[in-house]
Structure 1
Amino acid sequence: MSSYDVIIIGSGPGGYVCAIRCAQLGLKTACVEGRETLGGTCLNVGCIPSKALLHASHQLHEAEHNFAKMGLKGKAPSVDWKQMLTYKKETIGQNTSGIEFLFKKNKIDWIKGWASIPEAGKVRVGDDVHEAKNIVIASGSDVATLPGVEIDEKVVVSSTGALELSKVPKKMVVIGAGVIGLELGSVYKRLGSEVKVIEYLDTITPGMDAEVQRQFQKILTKQGLEFQLGAAVQGVETKGNKAKVTYKLRKDDSEHVEDADIVLVSTGRKPFTDGLGLEALGVEMSDRGQIKTDGHWATNIKGIYAIGDCIDGPMLAHKAEDEGMAAAETIAGQKGHVNYGVIPGVIYTHPEVANVGQTEAQLKDAGHKYKAGKFSFMGNGRAKANHAAEGFVKILADAETDRIIGAHIIGPMAGDLIHEVCVAMEFGAAAEDLARTCHAHPTYSEAVREAALACGDGPIHS
């Protein structure tokens, strides 16, 4: 029986980061993972492979629509789907092997297999039981589906199956207009599929800034995606290699049927804790199947912690990473901390969408007086030169203190630009602080500065 200071269950972004931080802090550490490769859903069948396909398909879009405008003449490239999947697989391999290298570098034991916790302080993997002073559950999440919709990963697919299709479908129906559905819907639209998105609510990207939602839907519609909002999917029937999606419009209860070659179910994710034995242990769970933790990521069972998608909060890889580091520091006797008010969200379509902090709707509901500064990328020289001038930056600041309390960006490199605002918010900066910071010209980041200026006397280039 081997003994450790910490055993982490799961090697996704939360788990592997927690393991590395534990090892850095001098704790004897092991990580249990049943996949053949490390990295969890994110690196194997989520964040990383989807970004590879988003990047590849965007290059095709540029070649088809913008190269000629820039004087790059020639026949547009054709799609070699098999090679694109190879590129995606190689990208996954580079990242997962990188985690394995980091485990070896930091002397972290990879216990291969699926874990259960027979009692506090012990982790069973196969026939072996390992002792641990502390256990961190980082088991992640799984696909959530709808009643009447059975995923077979062939015709009716989750994001996992959508990343492994044998060919580009002629028609894809996407159920759910959230991050995953819009990203993968964009990929297949660029590759030549007809894509229809069916969403229960009356807006896409639920919870995001309303102005961003409207602009985003307008841009995606222009790119060729079709939207049916306010529609409740009743079921999906498959026959051979085809499917029929039945849905009802909420406004009049009328029923409609949509044919598809592939149906992508992207209706969210749910915590994955199967097989861990948490019920027998007496670990407290929420009504939504999340592991309950205190402010230090500890469960109600002494020595057992939980982080990432299996606990409360946004199911984001970087949120799990922050919790992984903080939990490791807490276990090591330090003061681990996560600022949940400054966790950015990003959609990696083109243009990208990013946000951090509060929305205008949230501020209005709370009666919080604020001011909004907005700047369009049409006024940004770099964006115009790069055929990327769609979208805007919006910064929200407290009406009295000018302290930044939120930001919403739709436009080029939004997922990178948002972090300038994140750093500002982390240090309690005012919009004026950001506005008075010199920004290199010409860069996309100047749009962020202009939005900050718009919170005061006004932007320069608008």
Structure 2
Amino acid sequence: MKEYDALIIGFGKAGKTLAGQLAARGWSVALVERSQRMYGGTCINIGCIPTKFLIHKASLAAASRPQSFGQRQDYYRQSIAEKKALVESLRELNYRKLADNPLIDLWTGEGSFISPHEVAVKGARSVELLAGRRIILDTGSETVIPPIRGLTESNRVYTSTTIMELERLPHRLAVIGGGYIGLEFASMYASFGSAVTVLESASELLPHEDRDVAEAVRGVLEKRGIAFRTGTRVAAVQDTVQGVRIDVAGEAEAAGYALEADAVLLATGRRPATGGLNLKAAGIQTDERGAIRVDEHLETSAPGVYAAGDVTGGPQFTYISLDDSRIIRDALFGEGVRTTLNRGPVPYSVYIEPPLSHVGLHEAEATGQGLDVRVNRIDVSTIPRARTMSSAEGLLKAVIDRSTDLVVGCTLFGPSSVEVIDAVALAMRHGITARELSEGIYTHPSMTETFNDLFA
């Protein structure tokens, strides 16, 4: 059995960041990753980078002159090839960054606990036993597969991972699930040229967003040709000679119906990937959703074993995983003052067209907590910069505490929101008042200059 100062399972953002930082302190490190195709983590291989690259390519396709579907097919095929090349280059860079470090050993195989500080790594040809004085779990999340008849037998059903390997653009795409992932892919494939239908089981789209924002999002996406069918329950999926048939069950007295498509994207959420870890052998507890229970320092119920990223059941963002690495680093080498309880407001963005970004409380949440707030709204069509970018649809919304004049929430549904929301989050984190934001001097024309009116 080989022993290490630190044993990390999972090549995600937190895992690879900590591996380099621990080695820089002279620690011996073992990093275990079950697949060579996942060196670098979810974001680089199957998440943020490939999806955002394809979303960018799709936006260029949408902005081009009208083309035949055959021309769009060729462009899509080339985009998939370029995405593959980008991912492979980043994967190699991430691999080399750790593999070339003499204090870091990379092990390819599935790691599972045999005791609180011992792990068996099952590779292609052998099983290696490793021990770690400290262990960090960063195994990410996996797609939830709902119990829909015929789903697993179909050759035309894809997840957010496998559809990005599809080299032929679907003429008709059905998306099961109208959450953030489903909407991103729906928007992207509509821009590439697919006819997209979104099937959402909830009665309303984006239930976590305020209704005015959700309605604005739906309206903009419908104008782009995306069809939404809410309150639907998919009963069965079956491949046909021409494509795939989706049977939708009727509600109450309503009759069911069938939908024909060339491909189906399953976007029904993700869950922590803990299946093969054998957590019981280490005494590591999980919650009812299967997420690893951690304290505010990200330490599990097993002393000296930490968990970071999606596997803890928190927000599924790469930047959260990065911040988790800082919390664990502070717990190991600092004063332990950095915790999950004091990281402040966390922004998020949904890369539809235009993008939807948010930080802090929604209006309904603020009023539900009893806060006395004022709400400012701006229609994106009135913003000069949006018009210069030919992207004049959307809604900006600020929620401001009347008593303190502090911004408690902000939603930006419009161009450049993925960049601008970070400025709002920074202001909220440092207690900058709405008045200070409204009286700032900003470049013109820019989306940031809307702060003059949005926070007035």
TM over 0.5: yes
2:212 aligned residue: 211
1:166 aligned residue: 167
2:94 aligned residue: 99
Aligned-partner residue type, residue 60 of structure 1: A
| Percent of aligned positions that are identical | 30
Distance 1:309 1:151 in 2: 25
Q: Does 1:118 align with 2:121?
A: no
1:460 aligned residue: none
Asked whether the 8 Å contact 1:151–1:158 carries over to 2, the reply is no
Aligned-partner residue type, residue 418 of structure 1: I
- Structure 2 unaligned blocks of 5 or more: none
Deviation string, structure 1 residues 386-434 (Cα, Å, up to 9, x no partner): 1012113212121200111111011111111100011111112211222
Asked whether the 8 Å contact 1:189–1:195 carries over to 2, the reply is yes
2:138 aligned residue: 138
Q: In 2 relative to 1, CA 10–78 (structure 1 residues): closer, same or farther, beyond 3 Å?
A: closer
Q: Cα offset for 1:9?
A: 0.7
Distance 2:72 2:130 in 1: 54
Distance 2:72 2:235 in 1: 40
- Aligned residue runs from structure 1 range 320-359, under 5 A: 320-335=321-336, 336-338=338-340, 339=342, 341-359=344-362
Q: In 2 relative to 1, CA 6–220 (structure 1 residues): closer, same or farther, beyond 3 Å?
A: same
Q: In 2 relative to 1, CA 375–320 (structure 1 residues): closer, same or farther, beyond 3 Å?
A: same
Q: Does 1:193 align with 2:183?
A: no
Aligned-partner residue type, residue 443 of structure 1: S
Aligned length: 444
2:9 aligned residue: 9
Asked whether the 8 Å contact 2:216–2:395 carries over to 1, the reply is no
Distance 1:147 1:434 in 2: 49
Pick one of 411, 416, 419 that aligns with 1:416: 419
- Aligned residue runs from structure 1 range 20-419, under 5 A: 20-37=20-37, 38-64=39-65, 79-104=74-99, 107-126=103-122, 127-149=127-149, 150-151=151-152, 154-239=155-240, 242-250=243-251, 252-335=253-336, 336-338=338-340, 339=342, 341-419=344-422
Asked whether the 8 Å contact 2:111–2:276 carries over to 1, the reply is yes
Root-mean-square deviation (CA, aligned residues, Å) is 2.2
Deviation string, structure 1 residues 212-247 (Cα, Å, up to 9, x no partner): 211111010000100001112222222456222122
Distance 1:294 1:163 in 2: 36
Asked whether the 8 Å contact 2:271–2:313 carries over to 1, the reply is no
2:19 aligned residue: 19
Q: In 2 relative to 1, CA 13–394 (structure 1 residues): closer, same or farther, beyond 3 Å?
A: same
- Structure 1 unaligned blocks of 5 or more: 68-75, 454-462
Q: Cα offset for 1:188?
A: 1.8
Q: Cα offset for 1:77?
A: 7.5
Q: Cα offset for 1:10?
A: 0.5
Deviation string, structure 1 residues 10-52 (Cα, Å, up to 9, x no partner): 1122322332343455543332112214122221122211111
Q: In 2 relative to 1, CA 301–147 (structure 1 residues): closer, same or farther, beyond 3 Å?
A: same
Q: What's the secondary structure of 1:159's corresponding residue?
A: coil
Q: What's the secondary structure of 1:293's corresponding residue?
A: coil
Distance 2:412 2:281 in 1: 46
Aligned-partner residue type, residue 132 of structure 2: A
Q: Which segment is superposed worse, 292-301 or 231-240?
A: 231-240
Aligned-partner residue type, residue 10 of structure 1: G
